[in-house]
Amino acid sequence: MEQLLEQLYMSGLRFLEPMTPESTYKRIVDEALKLVNADSGAVYVMKGRELKKAYTSSKSLATLRHRKHGFTYQAWRYKKPFILSSQDIYAVHPEFKKIQLKSFMLMPISYGKEVIGVLTLQSKKENYFTHEMLKLIRLYTSMAYLSIRKTQLYAQAKESLELQDLLIAMTSHELKTPLTTISIYSQMLEKSLSKRAKINPIWVKEIGFETKRLQKLLHELLQSNVITNKSFQYDFSPYNIHTLLEKVRLNFLANYPNYHLEIRNSLKKEEGMLTGDFDKILQAFNNIIGNAAKYSPPSAPITLSVELEKKIIILKIIDQGKGIPQKDLPLLFDKFYRGKNSRHEGMGIGLFLAKNIIEKHKGKIEITSQINKGTTVQICLPLK
């Protein structure tokens, strides 16, 4: 008995090592097999409202499906361990006979009143598991419970930190455009006032527009659902593509005065009504066109073409920049991806946000590129 307790103690110490969820489940089964010298085992863990197989030591067991009213579920639901013989199992699981398993133990993985899973052990010997083994595994699964909870809490903490980094990056990126536009138009106003020159009313209008957009964005960032939902709120309402294109043009002129943006719009005035969050869509286009300017020489114009095809508005942003290697294209929409040799400032989150915004509007975004020939970003948005 002392030897078993020492072995149990050593198994518990091994759970103190830092492990991933996958390695934790494997360790739980491996140590349990050593404790009672069983032939195979598996761990089931609650995910959502279902008991899912997290790990099994046997390839034969991996393909077996447990019933929602079977012994495994009963062990979890009623917090009750089972020692079963071949007669108990073969009637409902004849496949166990093929792999010559004859004795079964099912133990809830619990601590106090909380159950988070089930450990199952199998032996090829008839009536192998004893009540002494049952008591030993009951003690063991209490330590296994703590190990699983430790791993889960670590994973949650890691996810929270990653989410915090993402939120900070999203905040800084989304605030940059309206702040830059306000700053530029404010400087233009200041110069005009100092020279007593005529003030362009568009400057004042754009400062007001970007200020409201900034206020709305700040309010949204302060809401807790941005953190919990990992995304911004969306305020869907009708808007006109022509209005969007004009805002894109004005933002581009303010932020990239040395570049030329050519808009080729084949839509008529009465065409182009969409439903969506105007500010978010505008931000997506600012991000994409900003990238085009960032990686293109000022002498090469950037083209924004707009067409209507089968109730889908197709927009293409075409630059004549240095292009993107084919191997990098699948990675462009990953958050924080900036390319291996990128010398430009930024967090690599612009395209990640743009893709999420476009997809929230039931649209699609694709990128094609050739080295030293340029890049084309195609966006498809459904009409209202």
Among the candidates 129, 159, 189, a domain finishes at 159
Does residue 135 lie within any of the structural domains?
yes
pLDDT of residue 1: 53
Q: For residue 137, what are the domain limits?
A: 2-159
Q: Could you give the residue ranges of the DSSP H alpha helices within the chain?
A: 2-14, 21-36, 59-62, 71-77, 86-90, 95-98, 131-194, 201-221, 225-228, 241-255, 278-294, 350-360
Q: With 80 as the cut, is the pLDDT of residue 160 above it?
A: no
Q: Note the pTM of the prediction, 2 decimals.
A: 0.52
Among the candidates 137, 159, 181, a domain finishes at 159
Please check whether residues 334 and 244 belong to one and the same domain: yes
List, for residues 302-327, the tens digit of each pLDDT value. 999 999 998 999 999 999 988 888 88
Among the candidates 140, 159, 178, a domain finishes at 159
Pairing state between β 261-265 and 302-309: parallel
Q: Which two tokens stand for residue 158?
A: 């890691």
Does residue 15 lie within any of the structural domains?
yes
Tell me the CATH number at 326: 3.30.565.10
Does residue 254 lie within any of the structural domains?
yes
Please check whether residues 26 and 111 belong to one and the same domain: yes
Place of tokens 């890049």: 375
Please check whether residues 129 and 246 belong to one and the same domain: no
DSSP 224-252: THHHHSSS-----EEEEHHHHHHHHHHHH
| Phi, then psi, of 64 in degrees rounded to 5 | -75, 140
Please check whether residues 143 and 281 belong to one and the same domain: no
Domain count along the chain: 2
List, for residues 115-157, the tens digit of each pLDDT value. 899 999 999 999 999 999 999 899 888 888 888 888 878 777 7
The predicted model gives 179-189 an average pLDDT of 83
131-145, 178-192, 273-287, range with the lowest pLDDT: 178-192
Q: Give residue 91's pLDDT band: very low, low, confident or very high (50, 70, 90).
A: confident
Q: With 50 as the cut, is the pLDDT of residue 82 above it?
A: yes
Mean pLDDT, the chain, whole residue set: 82
Please check whether residues 146 and 265 belong to one and the same domain: no
Does residue 181 lie within any of the structural domains?
no
Helices 131-194 & 350-360 angle (0-180, nearest 10): 100
pLDDT of residue 314: 95
Tell me the CATH number at 45: 3.30.450.40
76-90, 209-223, 253-267, 347-361, range with the lowest pLDDT: 209-223
Q: Which two tokens stand for residue 278?
A: 């105007």
Cβ contact 83:135 at 8 Å: no
Report the greatest alpha carbon distance in the chain. Answer: 100
Does residue 228 lie within any of the structural domains?
no
Q: What is the DSSP letter of 200?
A: P
Please check whether residues 122 and 241 belong to one and the same domain: no
Q: Give residue 343's pLDDT band: very low, low, confident or very high (50, 70, 90).
A: very low
The single-letter code of the amino acid at 99 is: I
List, for residues 186-227, the tens digit of each pLDDT value. 888 888 888 777 888 888 888 887 887 777 667 666 554 554
